[in-house]
């Protein structure tokens, strides 16, 4: 429909898929993601052997598994990024149905692996966390609903997406998984803002979040314990937060040296939630800044390309995906330096975890598919009154 209204620019007839993909994809963002995965393998070589030793496994057991999961994730990323937005939307709808149904089955067939929150399905050889896959597909489905509501005579897509978002947030909070619930709500809120939601309504939503947080604090021991630990002026040196804080301080600007870090021997989650502490201790602030720059590049470049996009669905879906990608990284690193309460959230493409890696590959693959250069021109041409 967009091409019918605004026209198209010439395309290369009969161009093979791979050359066309390489010509249109955001190669800077793709390169940043590949570098993040490489850094994750490097840090895994340092962080995972102590855990493998405690579990009686080969020293690089978890690194090998991360490489396998990473290969699947990158394959998913490359394949998804080659699809058209229409195909991505259709696959996201199917994926959403499966992931949404899986959330309802977690209380009956899920496990908590001793962490106090039922978030995973145990398959014996691996585990699956449905909420990791739900995030990107929900963003695309919600963007589709919001874009449809902007059409003349379209459905009340914003209301539908709001209702769906609230159901997901409640289910995740009951696991409890407040970190993923906040991430889903944030991604939806960003898209709603971009779609033109009134500021007063967004302020009201923020108020509801505060009220919900107070309710969770009064009724969830798990939530209250994390908030109390965050607000406490003293840090217990024998807790994960204490170990991570000490490791970051010890690392300084250039780190203590490759393999010389000690935090990996104390932190049970050094290879997952607190991988940035290992990076800061062994490689120092320099590597941490590189990691931050890589995430920032992906988000900023994606947003700049989406600003020029005419299709409202692509703009909304791409914005939501870029937002949750960047905010998840920010939350993980914020927890490690005690700027945020502990949330049990992985660092995308760097932390160990099959569900996190593969779902991240799917999310970034869809983001790259939405930010590819398209033949319909740019929205700036409309604003200048010069449709092609």
For 9, phi then psi, to 5°, come to -100, 160
More reliable by pLDDT, 2 or 153 = 153
Yes or no: say if 350 and 40 are a contact pair by the CB < 8 Å rule.
yes
More reliable by pLDDT, 198 or 3 = 198
Q: Which pLDDT value is given to residue 33?
A: 97
For residues 255 and 283, what is the distance between their CA atoms, to the nearest angstrom? 4
Handedness of CA 80, 86, 91, 97 (dihedral sign): positive
With 0-12 CB in 10 A as exposed, 13-18 as middle and 19+ as buried, what is 159? Answer: exposed
Q: Which pLDDT value is given to residue 2?
A: 41
Highest mean pLDDT of the ranges 82-96, 204-218, 256-270: 82-96
Query: Which of 121-130, 203-212, 328-337, 354-363 shows the lowest per-residue confidence on average (mean pLDDT)?
Result: 203-212
What does the DSSP 8-state code read for residue 111? B
Q: Which pLDDT value is given to residue 262?
A: 79
Q: What mean pLDDT comes out for the span 216-245?
A: 72
Give residue-wise pLDDT tens across range 14-69: 678 888 899 999 999 999 999 999 999 999 888 888 888 888 888 888 899 999 99
Q: Which pLDDT value is given to residue 1?
A: 41
Domain boundary assignment for the chain: 24-372
pLDDT band, residue 363 (cuts 50/70/90): very high
Q: For the chain, what percent of residues have pLDDT higher than 90?
A: 46
Handedness of CA 377, 380, 383, 384 (dihedral sign): negative
For residues 263 and 188, what is the distance between their CA atoms, to the nearest angstrom? 36
**Is the pLDDT confidence value at 123 over 70?**
yes
For residues 146 and 157, what is the distance between their CA atoms, to the nearest angstrom? 5
Alpha helices, DSSP H, located in 220-311: 221-231, 240-251, 275-307
With 0-12 CB in 10 A as exposed, 13-18 as middle and 19+ as buried, what is 148? Answer: middle
Q: Which pLDDT value is given to residue 367?
A: 97
3 state SS of 121:
strand
For residues 37 and 30, what is the distance between their CA atoms, to the nearest angstrom? 11
Six token digits for residue 138: 């929900």
Beta-strand (E) ranges in 20-110? none
Q: For the chain, what percent of residues have pLDDT higher than 70?
A: 90
For residues 129 and 152, what is the distance between their CA atoms, to the nearest angstrom? 39
Element at 127 (helix H, strand E): strand 127-128
**Is the pLDDT confidence value at 371 over 50?**
yes
Give residue-wise pLDDT tens across range 265-310: 777 777 888 899 889 999 999 999 999 999 999 999 999 999 988 8
Q: Which pLDDT value is given to residue 52?
A: 85
The three-point CA angle 224-172-37 to 5° equals 100
Question: How many CB atoms neighbour CB 304 within 10 A?
Answer: 11
Give residue-wise pLDDT tens across range 55-102: 888 888 889 999 999 999 999 999 999 999 999 999 999 999 999 999
Q: What mean pLDDT comes out for the span 128-143?
A: 95
């Amino acid at each position: 429909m967009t091409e019918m209204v605004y026209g198209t620019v010439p395309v290369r007839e009969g161009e093979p898929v791979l050359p066309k993909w390489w010509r249109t994809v955001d190669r800077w963002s793709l390169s940043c993601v590949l570098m993040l995965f490489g850094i994750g393998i490097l840090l895994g070589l340092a962080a995972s052997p102590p855990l493998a030793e405690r579990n009686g496994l080969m020293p690089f057991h978890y690194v090998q598994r991360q490489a396998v999961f990473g290969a699947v994730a990158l394959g998913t990323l490359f394949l998804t990024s080659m699809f058209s937005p229409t195909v991505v939307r259709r696959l996201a709808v199917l994926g959403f149905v499966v992931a949404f149904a899986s959330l309802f089955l977690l209380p009956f067939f899920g496990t908590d692996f001793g962490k106090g929150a039922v978030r995973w399905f145990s398959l014996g050889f691996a585990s699956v966390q449905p909420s990791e896959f739900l995030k990107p597909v929900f963003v695309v489905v919600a963007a589709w609903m919001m874009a449809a509501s902007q059409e003349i005579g379209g459905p009340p897509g914003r209301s539908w997406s709001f209702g769906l978002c609230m159901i997901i947030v409640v289910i995740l909070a009951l696991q409890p998984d407040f970190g993923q619930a906040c991430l889903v709500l944030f991604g939806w809120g960003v898209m709603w803002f971009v779609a033109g939601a009134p500021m007063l309504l967004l302020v009201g939503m923020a108020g509801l979040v505060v009220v919900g947080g107070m309710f969770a604090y009064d009724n969830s021991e798990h939530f209250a314990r994390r908030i109390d630990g965050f607000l406490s002026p003293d840090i217990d040196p024998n807790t994960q937060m204490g170990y991570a804080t000490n490791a970051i301080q010890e690392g300084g600007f250039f780190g203590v040296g490759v393999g010389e870090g000690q935090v990996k021997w104390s932190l049970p989650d050094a290879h997952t939630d607190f991988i940035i502490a290992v990076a800061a201790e062994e490689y120092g602030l320099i590597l941490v800044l590189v990691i931050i720059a890589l995430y920032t590049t992906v988000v900023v470049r994606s947003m700049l390309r989406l600003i020029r996009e005419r299709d409202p669905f692509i703009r909304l879906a791409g914005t939501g995906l870029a937002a949750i990608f960047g905010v998840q990284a920010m939350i993980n690193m914020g927890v490690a330096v005690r700027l945020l309460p502990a949330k049990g959230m992985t660092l995308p493409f760097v932390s160990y975890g099959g569900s996190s890696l593969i779902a991240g590959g799917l999310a970034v693959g869809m983001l790259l598919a939405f930010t590819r250069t398209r033949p319909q021109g740019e929205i700036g041409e409309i604003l200048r009154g010069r449709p092609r």
